[in-house]
Amino acid sequence: MSFRFSTGVFLFCIAVALGVSANTFKSGRNRAAFPNDVTSTPAYKIAQLDRKTCLSELERRQISYQLAGESPGVRTPVRLKGPLGRVRFITGASGADREHLPWEVLDCRLVLALDEWTQTLDAHDVSEVVFSSGWRPAIKAVSDGVDGKRHSGALALDVHAFRLRSGGELVVERDFHGKLDSPVCGPDAPLPAPNTPEARELRSIVCSSAEMRLFQSILTPNYDVHHVNHFHFEVTPNVRWFILS
């Protein structure tokens, strides 16, 4: 089984401009697109995987992981034990602490999406993705046997920085220079202010990632004040929309 698709197929925030039939809903900070071919997207296919199939795909890709302990709300909780391709996903915690930190628990489906994402990250010279949380068990109570959503289901990753192979790093809070409630990609997106190379590169990463249709939801500092210091990448089962804001 493989979910690898070439980039540049579809940028949902300008779906109509690209000639793909889709309805777009825009209300405040939310900009959602409902593409007619949603069931053929890698995001949709990955999000529907059951535990057995997802773990089999991790094995087929030779991804280094271990099953996490009891993680209420998480369908298939795992911890990464190595890089995905050439990209490491890290929180900055020490090796000993990482075995116990809940926010390093990721659902298997999110791991598969991140593995696909490394194609874009490689193209942008990224060697490490610094994140603060995957699973947040305290975000809300989850009944036994019920899959959580977003962070309560370990299906979302909050990314704060990208470290580059060539040296240096792109820090979302420092370098994004966005505008609240403004689109991030497409012809209506305002230029960063100030319009620095780092800000342009961060937007390029976000927009290239959106083109891959690996994540149903990508939120940036343009979304609201709670996202001022990170990007939110999310896999969402059983939906037919994509959000980039």
- Summarised one tens digit per residue, pLDDT across range 104-160 is 899 999 999 999 999 999 999 999 999 998 878 855 555 566 787 888 888 999 999
Q: What is the pLDDT of residues 188-223, one digit of tens each?
A: 899 999 999 999 999 999 999 999 999 999 999 999
Can you give the pLDDT at residue 31?
Answer: 74
H/E stretch holding 114: helix 108-123
Q: What is the pLDDT of residues 24-38, one digit of tens each?
A: 444 345 578 898 999
What amino acid occupies position 152? Answer: S
Q: What CATH class does 12-21+50-244 carry?
A: alpha beta
Judging by beta carbons within 10 Å of its beta carbon (0-12, 13-18, 19+), is residue 117 exposed, middle or buried?
buried
Q: Is the pLDDT of residue 53 over 80?
A: yes
Strand partners of residue 241: none
Cα–Cα nearest to 130, from 154, 110, 103: 103
